[in-house]
Structure 1
Amino acid sequence: MAERGAEAAGLPASDAHPVRSGPSGRGGPAWRRWHGSGPPWWNRADGDEARPRRPWRSTLALTVVVLVGSHAAAEFQQGERAALDPFARVLLLLGTAMLLWRWRHPVLVAFGTSATAMVYLGAGYPYGPVFVTVAVGCFSAIVAGHRRAAWTAMGALWVGHVLVAHWLYRWLPPDGDDAASWGQEIVVVTWGVAIVALSELARTRREQWARERTERARAARLRADEERLRIARELHDVLAHSISVINVQAGVGLALLDSDPEQARTALSTIKTASKEALGEVRQVLDTLRTPGDAPRTPAPGLDRLPELVEQAAGAGLTVAIKGERPDLPPGTDLAAFRIVQEALTNVVRHSGSRHARVGLGLDRAGRELRLRIDDDGPATSADAGGGGNGLVGMRERAAALGGTIEAGPRADGGFRVLAVLPVRASREVEEDR
């Protein structure tokens, strides 16, 4: 809806942002600013359109603090420093007004507030919150990454203060002023070091949060890609096997419809059974997509369903011999093994002229790996029988996800072989960690 509204307004669809209401009832951009990882001025880079154009509220509060504090300082330092006059108040207002641009132009604000404070002090006005504007301006510059500019601005202010307080005070107001103590310079330097340290800490934390957000986004994309691949494999294995059986049985039914109606009826019954099972498995995958947090309603298939595969293959005219006993496997390995055997038998039905296949399974001596071997005697009946389609790719992906391997190719004596090695203990440990 947001994209269609943007197109109707003559804007590109990428400029349409959905509105997400937060506790304050305001829209999406404000929600993202305050509910992200940290304050808005730590999360946003210069020029980010999602941030407010001007920090009006904080600047207004700082203006009140500077004006009231400077008036109090003038009362406290009466007789020692020059009284606040309209020019002094203009300088104070100018310094705080610059802070409106501290997010857009942090370097100019850092130098501007330092220059304004230097003129203020050179005119002999009272010490006080005028340094707050410099602190905020340089803080914003350092957090934005302009460290050298902020340090230069603060260094220039300190050098100017030393010149005014120790050499130029004779020619500057107020009249009869004495040189400042060097202990006062230590206080000024300590203040500057504290501002720089706090700013560097904020900048480091901001960069850390930015890296964490990038890593979380990358991990989320990776999980989404893995989930898409998993779903694609499941749908391919379910549909490819069932449709292959249905295709073969439909051909048998058509061929025998007139000459052998009973055999044609058997073929139609097989089609009905295969399509029902395919619909059930597809529905299970879709239910998982709709409610990802819920447990599946039916257990995932495993090697205990090998007799069903043998029966379906027999309905397609393929005789399958099973050698070995089904071992106790963790669910992930059991599902992968079942799908690999299912896809291998499907490939025999679709791409091989052989009517016989052999499935061997069992654990190695250490009980660490499951070995599956599916053989047929060929010959191939299509050009892609060697594994150019998605079936073998899906099998390799399933095996790789568990840390196993798949070898598939023609045998020296004719026919085709699929050999799968799946680790058992490693996959069981992974599932226990989950």
Structure 2
Amino acid sequence: MTAGQTPLDRHAVPVEGDLSLPKPPGVIRRFWSRHPRLTDVLVAAAFTVPAVGASLLVAWVPDSVRNPDLAPLGAVVYVVGGATLLWRRRHPWAVLVVAWVISLVGVPVWDSVDVTLMAFALYALAVYGSVRAAWIGLAVSALVTAAGSGVVAAIAIESNVPVTAANFSQIGALLIVVLVGINIANRRRYVVALLDRAAQLARERDQTARLAAADERARIAREMHDIVSHGLTVMVTLAEGSAATTTTDPERAVVAMRQVAETGRRALTDMRRMLGLLDDGLPGELGPQPGLEDLAALVERFRGAGLRVTVSAEGIPPADPAEQLTVYRIVQESLTNVLRHAASGANVTVDVRYGTAGVVIGVTNDGPVVAPPLPGRGRGTVGMRERVALYGGTVESGPRPGGGWAVRATLAHEPAPAAAASTTPDESETAR
């Protein structure tokens, strides 16, 4: 830790979000914490005024010391030393060095070692520096005090107190000052650490909320893609078929257009339900997500759009609604891709196997690719990968050797501990 201001001194306590920090107890303590510069001025005055006053008093009482003519010089030295206390927070080492010099310079004036300024500097070093710096400063201060006392003894100044006793008492006083400063500094650092930890927890809370919101947006985006992509693909296919049979088979064209309207209404209902998850102000539009019991109706809609779909299922379906929705969406996206990219009248086989460990879904078709196919950007395949990744599964898709396309998805009954990141689809999947 450098010898500078702590976060508490700079009033830079980190605050994140709605983190509410407790106020320091007491009106007086809060006042001093808000006015650090005023505190420094008062501390400097607390040292300078008595020291200068004592120096001037010595000048008026010539018999009090051996060299009363040097008393005015001592007053000037004390003014300089008191001025350095204004920088005790940012530069405690510099203040302590000045205190050592002033203590030695004052020996001829006071016939003794004055450790008052040294005590102020050591306290500042302990509070605004580090514990190691405080002990080093105390050791050097003890040497300076001993050296000054040696000078006093060498010039044989008469004193009622033995030099060694005075020396030990001064060093003991400095030790007490350092211990008090270290205790206060440790408490301040502990408070700063608690505030930093609270701010970190607040940031982690906000980040967790943002990640949860991002996951929810991604989930809703997948649902919206499946709803819109499926609905519009079926509607476009039915509309093209109706336009092609308007003159040759008007009744069939009418039926196709009614299916277009029904598909559009169903898509709107699904979209309202999804939007209801985003806005609580849409009452009456919320409903259950589709499940395995809705697969038959889904297949019928694709059959009405011209696909020849064969469905086979084996095993006991899972009871988890989320897993049922995943199976439903994978079948829906696979059939939508067939309707979008394969030729009209393609034969499609949907094979769903429910096992004890998981579900295996296979969707194959024998239709050649339409040129040009309906536009797509491969997001449906990415969505399928993301869905099965939540259950620790995989998706494989690609062209069949004999023509057509095949999709195979596997997923476990239990969600994966950590959702795997979706991989980038290859060029063939993106094209589909």
Alignment TM-score, normalising by the size of structure 2: 0.66
Structure-1 residue corresponding to 2:26: none
Moved more, 274-283 or 84-93: 84-93
Alpha-carbon offset, residue 324 of structure 1? 1.9
Structure-1 residue corresponding to 2:231: 242
Unpaired segments ≥5 residues, structure 1: 1-28, 41-54, 103-108, 140-149
For the residue of structure 2 that corresponds to 1:161, the secondary structure is helix
Q: Does 1:373 align with 2:395?
A: no
- Taking the aligned partners of 1:33 and 1:85, their CA distance within structure 2 comes to 50
For the residue of structure 2 that corresponds to 1:289, the secondary structure is coil
Structure-2 residue corresponding to 1:361: 352
Choose from 260, 283, 299 the match for 2:288.
299
Alpha-carbon offset, residue 303 of structure 1? 1.9
Alpha-carbon offset, residue 276 of structure 1? 1.6
Q: Does 1:164 align with 2:144?
A: yes
1:260 and 1:340, CA in 2 relative to 1: closer, same or farther beyond 3 A? Answer: same
Map 1:45-56 to 2 at 5 A. none
Instruction: Provide, for residues 159-203 of structure 1, a one-character-per-residue CA deviation record: whole Å limited to 9, x for no partner.
Output: 44112321113558x995731346556545645654675576567
- Taking the aligned partners of 1:428 and 1:314, their CA distance within structure 2 comes to 38
Structure 1 residue identity aligned to 2:96: S
Unpaired segments ≥5 residues, structure 2: 1-11, 24-32, 59-70, 107-113, 420-432
Choose from 385, 392, 404 the match for 2:381.
392
Structure 2 residue identity aligned to 1:425: E
- Taking the aligned partners of 1:241 and 1:191, their CA distance within structure 2 comes to 75
Choose from 325, 328, 352 the match for 1:335.
325
* 8 A Cα contact 1:410 1:417, kept in partner: yes
- Taking the aligned partners of 2:398 and 2:142, their CA distance within structure 1 comes to 84
* 8 A Cα contact 2:318 2:413, kept in partner: no
For the residue of structure 2 that corresponds to 1:373, the secondary structure is strand
Alpha-carbon offset, residue 224 of structure 1? 4.4
Q: Does 1:315 align with 2:304?
A: yes
Instruction: Provide, for residues 186-237 of structure 1, a one-character-per-residue CA deviation record: whole Å limited to 9, x for no partner.
Output: 5456456546755765676677567656655654554444334323212211
Choose from 399, 402, 411 the match for 2:391.
402
Q: Does 1:288 align with 2:266?
A: no
* 8 A Cα contact 1:323 1:359, kept in partner: yes
Map 1:341-356 to 2 at 5 A. 341-353=331-343, 354-356=345-347
Alpha-carbon offset, residue 271 of structure 1? 1.4
Map 1:182-197 to 2 at 5 A. 183-184=172-173, 186-187=175-176, 190-191=179-180, 194=183, 197=186
* 8 A Cα contact 1:314 1:320, kept in partner: yes
- Taking the aligned partners of 1:33 and 1:86, their CA distance within structure 2 comes to 49
Map 1:83-98 to 2 at 5 A. 88=78, 91-92=81-82, 94-96=84-86
Alpha-carbon offset, residue 58 of structure 1? 3.4
Q: Does 1:419 align with 2:395?
A: no
Structure 2 residue identity aligned to 1:60: L
- Taking the aligned partners of 1:240 and 1:191, their CA distance within structure 2 comes to 73
Alignment TM-score, normalising by the size of structure 1: 0.66
1:158 and 1:35, CA in 2 relative to 1: closer, same or farther beyond 3 A? Answer: farther
- Taking the aligned partners of 1:321 and 1:411, their CA distance within structure 2 comes to 18
Map 1:123-162 to 2 at 5 A. 124=114, 126=116, 131-138=122-129, 151-152=132-133, 154-155=134-135, 157-162=137-142
- Taking the aligned partners of 2:407 and 2:182, their CA distance within structure 1 comes to 69
- Taking the aligned partners of 1:207 and 1:136, their CA distance within structure 2 comes to 19
For the residue of structure 2 that corresponds to 1:290, the secondary structure is coil
* 8 A Cα contact 2:44 2:85, kept in partner: no
Structure 1 residue identity aligned to 2:38: L
Provide the aligned C-alpha RMSD in A. Answer: 4.7
Alpha-carbon offset, residue 64 of structure 1? 4.3
1:183 and 1:233, CA in 2 relative to 1: closer, same or farther beyond 3 A? Answer: same
Structure-1 residue corresponding to 2:167: 179
Percentage of matched positions with identical amino acids: 29
- Taking the aligned partners of 1:235 and 1:398, their CA distance within structure 2 comes to 14
1:338 and 1:198, CA in 2 relative to 1: closer, same or farther beyond 3 A? Answer: same
- Taking the aligned partners of 1:256 and 1:245, their CA distance within structure 2 comes to 17
Moved more, 236-245 or 251-260: 251-260
Aligned residues: 361
Alpha-carbon offset, residue 61 of structure 1? 4.2
- Taking the aligned partners of 1:30 and 1:187, their CA distance within structure 2 comes to 30
Alpha-carbon offset, residue 349 of structure 1? 0.6
* 8 A Cα contact 1:329 1:424, kept in partner: no
* 8 A Cα contact 2:348 2:365, kept in partner: yes
